[in-house]
Structure 1
Amino acid sequence: MRLWSRELWRIAWLAALGACLGGLLGLPGLGFAAGLAICLVYQLRQLRALFKWLTLHPHDEPPAASGMWGELFDRLYRYQKSQRITQNRLRATLARIQESSEAMRDSVVMLDRHGDLEWWNSAATEMLGLQTAHDRGQHITNLLRDPRFISYFNARKYGEPLTLTSPIDERRILQYQITLYGDDERLVMARDITRLHRLEQMRRDFVANVSHELRTPLTVLTGYLETYGDLKEQLPPRLGRGIAQMEEQTKRMQNLVNDLLLLSRLEIDQGGGDHHPLALGPMLDSVRRDALALSNQQHNVQVVLESDAQLIASEQELHSAISNLAFNAVRYTPQGSHITLRWKTLPNGSACIEVDDDGEGIDPVHIPRLTERFYRVDKGRSTATGGTGLGLAIVKHVLLRHDAFLQIESHPGEGALFRCVFPSSRVVESEPHLA
């Protein structure tokens, strides 16, 4: 403000001086105008110097000037200098980011808000076949044309990665993960998981083959043990008890082998061939009868149908999954407990099957790991009940094959609720019966 006031005083002083000199000649108005003209010429010269400096020599020292113009030149120069420092820092940071991205084995692709390619590292060129010369600015789906990737990209739900073969080498398996950032821009990362995929396939084949090979010796052992069991009255008591324990453990091994074979089939077989609209009432009633037989009528098991909608599913696979949930409820709740099998639709159009009990409940710390193979909350109690530790893993895989997921709600002393949630695309209204 002080410089501005000083500049105004300078203009007023020149105008007054001009008026005084003009008054001596009898032309005060002309002198006043001449004073203002001198001020205008000075301002225009300084403005011309500013323009030449900013356009022709922006990196040079600013023009020499006094007063307000000198202060303006100095401030612009300091601002330009700070901006150059900031730009250099940003360029260095960007260069380090690009260098680190180039050093990564994973593909990194940057997309703008429209999904067009902006930048990618050399790994993306190797894995995805992107070419700098003519692919920049192209939409990502013009280059990665697999329908599954296009659906994944357009769905904008990137919580889970997508596994596909490489678009330029079908022998390579890639895992895609998309992240939103900035102004609706996207970062696409692709990892080569070919080795992991092969190891997983080898594990599946190994489990399937070993389980299949174990069936024959277990069948032979079971046959002989049944024969000896029929003759246990003729055997010494000590030997009879041993045969009874062998029968029990052999039965456990058979159940384990059967569950392993079922899991292997669920993992390898894509399924879907036997999916059809299924009425849930008869199936849940069948599960209820099996659960009552397992508990020797010591539990109160009921079926509640809150909807008459049908579910597009495999009856065999769904029966296996719900049976596992119901049998777990029988095994891990005390006698006299209430178990409810419930089918209902949800407000968003989806539907769910619930298995609810009022037993001892589960500590929430265990819930995230319950669907892992052989994970047991209480190893001693699980062994005593005869479970294989694969039931919830089977449930998880069956639900994945039906585009569904498992929710578990439980607290110690408050029972447990296992909810199988199916999308609306698999729920169909039942046809009305004609009179």
Structure 2
Amino acid sequence: MRYWINELWRLGYLLFGLGAMGLLLGEFFGSLFAGLGWGVAAGLGLYVFLHLRHVRLLYIWLLRHPREAPPPGTGVWGDLFDRLYSYQKAQSQLQQRLRDILRRIQDSCEAMRDSVVMLDPQGDLDWWNSAASEMLGLKADHDRGQPLTNYLRDPRFIDYFEAGDYREPLLLPSPIHDNRMLQFQLTLYGDNERLVMARDITRLHQLEMMRRDFVANVSHELRTPLTVLAGYLETYSDNADMLPERWQRGFNQMQAQTTRMQNLVEDLLLLSRLEIDTPDADSDPVDVPALLESIVEDARGLSGGRQTLLLEVDEPRRLLANTKEIRSAISNLAFNAVRYTPAGSTIVLRWKSWHDGAAIEVEDDGEGFDPVHIPRLTERFYRIDKGRSAATGGTGLGLAIVKHVMLRHGAKLDIVSRPGKGARFRCAFPLSRLQVSPLSGTDDL
């Protein structure tokens, strides 16, 4: 405001001075009012000329010498030049800092062994490091600006990219090295921009395959001796009255442990098959209510009347799935509920609509467990209570089998439980796994 007041005073001085000069000239030449008018006009003209001169200086400075010191100015123009120069220096320093930060980011990304690819909002290639060039075969001279899906054409990656759910990484072979396995992780940021990171996990993948093969081979080799041992033990049990009494207890314990080992081997073989085999492309329409009714009957036999088992159905569509795998998964959930809930509990098997798809639920009102265990429940041999789990005869692989069956069907296993509040295991299937075909003759138990 101070500068504008000074500018007004400056304009007043010009008008007063040139006006007074015009009065003197008018008095001298005999025309007072004409002299005053010419003086004011001259003052305004001079004032405009000074401003136009400063505008020209500003234009030349910004156009030709923007990084040099500003031209000298008077009045408000001097302050304006100084402020523009200060703002320009601050912006230049800020841009330099941003360039330094960007350079450090690029240098750090270049130093990484993992591939780093930046995509624009349209999913086109914007920038990548040298590791991405080596792993994915990207070339800086002509690939920039092209869609990433032009180079990663695996349908699994395209589905993963377009789905927008990047919570879990995706494992795929390298597009240029068939013997290398990559782990892709996408991150959304900014205005729908994406950061793609790919890590070479070939060695880890090979070790995992070796572990699977080892477990499968050992389990397969154990089958024959266990079968022979179980056969002889069964023969001895049938003739227990002919054996010394002190041997009978030992034979009973051997038979129980042999049966437990056989169940463990069968579960290991099933889990290995689920991990190694590719899911069937063609699935059969499963009559879920009939399947659940059969599982409920088996669970009632295991329960022996200690718990109440119910079946609830309010979903008319069939499930497109592998019947044997779904039966194995739901049976594991139902039998676990029978084993780990106290007498008098109620166990409900439910087939219902869930969001856009449908879900099979196994819910009980038993003792429940601390939610801290939920992230690890689907690990092999993980037990909440090792003493109680061993007493029930479980193998510790049931929930791992359920997890892999769900993964093979594009479904999700959700677990909810709290101490004293029971537990609920929900297998949620997407809409693509449902067949719109009403079921007839379905009776709830």
TM-score by length of 1: 0.96
What does residue 402 of structure 2 align with? 395
Gaps of 5+ in 1: none
Q: Deviations over 1:376-405 (max 9, x none)?
A: 111000000000000111111111111111
**C-alpha distance in 1 between matches for 2:71 and 2:401:** 80
SS of 1:186's equivalent in the other structure is strand
What does residue 83 of structure 1 align with? 91
**C-alpha distance in 2 between matches for 1:274 and 1:71:** 78
What does residue 264 of structure 1 align with? 272
CA spacing shift, 1:251–1:145, aligned 2, 3 Å: same
Following superposition, the deviation at residue 109 of structure 1 comes to 0.8
SS of 1:135's equivalent in the other structure is coil
Matching of residues 11-410 of structure 1 within 5 Å: 11-26=11-26, 27-272=35-280, 275-346=283-354, 348-410=355-417
Following superposition, the deviation at residue 235 of structure 1 comes to 2.4
Q: Is the 8 A contact 2:351 2:361 kept in 1?
A: yes
Letter of the structure 2 residue corresponding to residue 19 of structure 1: G
Letter of the structure 1 residue corresponding to residue 378 of structure 2: T
Following superposition, the deviation at residue 271 of structure 1 comes to 2.6
SS of 1:345's equivalent in the other structure is strand
**C-alpha distance in 2 between matches for 1:390 and 1:274:** 27
SS of 2:142's equivalent in the other structure is helix
Q: Deviations over 1:149-175 (max 9, x none)?
A: 222222222122222111111111111
Moved over 6 A (4+): none
Q: Deviations over 1:267-319 (max 9, x none)?
A: 11113256211111221121112111112233222222223321111111111
**C-alpha distance in 2 between matches for 1:345 and 1:64:** 78
Letter of the structure 1 residue corresponding to residue 154 of structure 2: D
RMSD: 1.6
**C-alpha distance in 2 between matches for 1:103 and 1:363:** 43
**C-alpha distance in 1 between matches for 2:116 and 2:221:** 45
Letter of the structure 2 residue corresponding to residue 12 of structure 1: G
**Structure 1 stretch 331-340 or stretch 207-216: which is displaced more?**
331-340
Following superposition, the deviation at residue 17 of structure 1 comes to 1.3
Letter of the structure 1 residue corresponding to residue 150 of structure 2: N
Letter of the structure 2 residue corresponding to residue 2 of structure 1: R
Following superposition, the deviation at residue 120 of structure 1 comes to 0.6
Letter of the structure 1 residue corresponding to residue 7 of structure 2: E
Letter of the structure 2 residue corresponding to residue 315 of structure 1: T
CA spacing shift, 1:273–1:233, aligned 2, 3 Å: farther
The alignment of Structure 1 onto Structure 2 pairs a total of residues equal to 433
Following superposition, the deviation at residue 42 of structure 1 comes to 1.5
**C-alpha distance in 1 between matches for 2:220 and 2:348:** 35
CA spacing shift, 1:4–1:310, aligned 2, 3 Å: same
TM-score by length of 2: 0.94
What does residue 7 of structure 2 align with? 7
**Structure 1 stretch 227-236 or stretch 105-114: which is displaced more?**
227-236
Q: Deviations over 1:7-60 (max 9, x none)?
A: 111112112211211122212211211121121222222222222222222222
Letter of the structure 2 residue corresponding to residue 374 of structure 1: F
Of the candidates 424, 429, 432, which is equivalent to residue 436 of structure 2?
A: 429
